[in-house]
A and B are shown apart, each in its own frame.
Chain A
Amino acid sequence: MLRWIAVWRRNMLVWRKLIAAAVLSNLADPLIMLFGLGYGLGALLPSIEGMSYIAFFAAGQLCTATMFTASFESMFSSFSRMHGQKTWDAILHAPLTIDDIVAGEIIWAASKAWLTGSTILAVILVFGLAASPWVVLALPAAFLVGLAFASVGLIMCVLAKNWDFFSFYMTLVMTPMMMISGVFFPAEQLPGWLAAIAKALPLYHGVEIVRPLVAGRFPDHVVVHLAVLIGYAIVGSAAAIYFARRRFSA
């Protein structure tokens, strides 16, 4: 059952070698966005939902950065290991199966994403943007967000014929999702049909859990939000394993 750990560990060891570059690239972008938009735009805006704009945006940014780390790792990095380096082929000669590899890759991408989310949480705490220490409950939520997007990203990875394939998912799915999931502004402002789409996607539910926690409240409908995230993780992993088996048993 735990054979995937060897795959997870392999990726962790490589990450540890390149830790400075890895941490910088995962954190620089979201933090620049956070402070640039948060303070810049925040100065022009009144408080939203009883929070300063930067605190409002920080909650969204925690989820978005987690999503991006999980997606990049599970698409570009996993594809590089699978397709470019043929690392997966080597592992398959050991007593591991493609299921173990997919599980290891997904959990690794989620772990790395969780680290991004936790670092942003640390920033939230250090800058006093959180209303209560209960905000640490955002940590398990961030892992679930990572798991959901890592699973979907790995489906893309095992379906991809080349690198260009990922542009479609990034441009047509991830970017619009970020716009409608309540990251920059409350999703309630959207037309009903667009809000309905947002509610069918995982990012919205991550934000709906994390934002109240930053504001010092317990999230409403938390079971629904968790269920959607867990659902994406389970169905996504199963689909990733299905398509990976198809690709590798040929």
Chain B
Amino acid sequence: MILSAAGLRKSYGGTEVVSGLDLAVERGECFGLLGPNGAGKTTTLRLCLGLTAPDGGEIRLLGEPVPQRAREARERVGVVPQFDNLDPDFTVAENLQVFGRYFGLEHEAVRRRIPDLLEFAGLSGRADARIAALSGGMKRRLTLARALVNDPQLVFMDEPTTGLDPQARHLIWERLRRLTAEGKTLVLTTHFMEEAERLCHRLAIMDRGRIIATGSPRALIAEHIESQVVEVHGTGVREWTEKAKLHCARVEVAGDSVFCYGNEVEELLRHVPKDLSYLHRPASLEDVFLKLTGRDLRD
């Protein structure tokens, strides 16, 4: 177990943000922490890194008790924060150099690693570029490379692809797979189900400071939801809901859309009225997520 937390609690100003959270991450896996905004994902990461002390519970990170020996643990950990905080006063290569120094790494040792790190970030040839001259995707990749400067065993990533275009996102995904192939452990938070489904060996769905489901993406889908979904859209769809219930296991209504869930939906498809449009697809992690955390907005 490379990271474990038991009975974790944290309150801010009377509001409990993390309320009795248990977590166990195995060495070498990519572990996803999913949850709507305000579920407590970022606070959980901060607790695991020892940046804030829990009100209750225990954490062990790479064998070290946290927060007591968080500094020692962080020597072998990398972090990709939610918002890029690259040092704008330095160039690309200098950012890696200066960050390595925070880990007590020698100038020469970091200098030798820089070409590899830049290659990993897809920034070869940009060593002397200023941070302000980088695109959002480049900054994200440099932040990822920076998190690897100390050759960490575990990398925490807080929403690593938020705000990136699809090209940039796919490149990050490819790099993260490379890291797991190299045997590094990844812990990432996200609210992109597609990302979690593609990358994570195991994930935990979090809501209101608790973990409400854990497992592989496939296991979660199999355990919590029917295999097929039919989304039906159009005016008058609400009136049709009662009939839909006769032909499928479960129905959810959201505005002018009805989501019908079932393991067999051929019968249902034959009964969809001609004036309504529909989409038939296999159930996804997003369906599990919405079932478990609800469709209400979280602001």
B12 A94 Cβ-Cβ under 8 A: no
A248 CA to B46 CA, complexed, in Å? 11
For the complex, is B120 an interface residue (Cβ under 8 Å from A)? Answer: no
B87 A93 Cβ-Cβ under 8 A: no
Q: Which of A94-131 contact B (CB under 8 A)?
A: 94-97
B98 A249 Cβ-Cβ under 8 A: no
Complex interface: chain B residues within 8 A of A249 (CB): 51-53
- Interfacial residues, chain B to chain A (CB-CB below 8 A): 12, 49, 51-53, 71-72, 74-75, 78-79, 81, 83, 85-90, 94, 98-99, 101-104, 147, 150
A86 B89 Cβ-Cβ under 8 A: no
A96 B85 Cβ-Cβ under 8 A: no
A92 B51 Cβ-Cβ under 8 A: yes
B72 A85 Cβ-Cβ under 8 A: no
For the residues of B in contact with A, the DSSP-based class is loop
Interface string of A138-156 (1 = CB under 8 A from B): 0000000000000000000
A166 CA to B46 CA, complexed, in Å? 30
| Given A90-B99, A94-B102, A94-B103, 6 further pairs, Cβ under 8 A | A9-B101, A14-B89, A89-B85, A90-B81, A93-B79, A250-B12
Complex interface: chain A residues within 8 A of B12 (CB): 250
Interface string of A74-91 (1 = CB under 8 A from B): 000000000001110111
For the complex, is A10 an interface residue (Cβ under 8 Å from B)? Answer: yes
CB < 8 Å neighbour of A95 from B71, B94, B98, B147: B71
A87 CA to B147 CA, complexed, in Å? 14
B87 A94 Cβ-Cβ under 8 A: no
CB < 8 Å neighbour of A97 from B71, B75, B79: B71
CB < 8 Å neighbour of A89 from B52, B74, B81, B150: B81
Closest A residue to B95 by beta carbon equals: A90
Complex interface: chain B residues within 8 A of A33 (CB): none
Report B53 CB to chain A, min CB distance, Å. 7
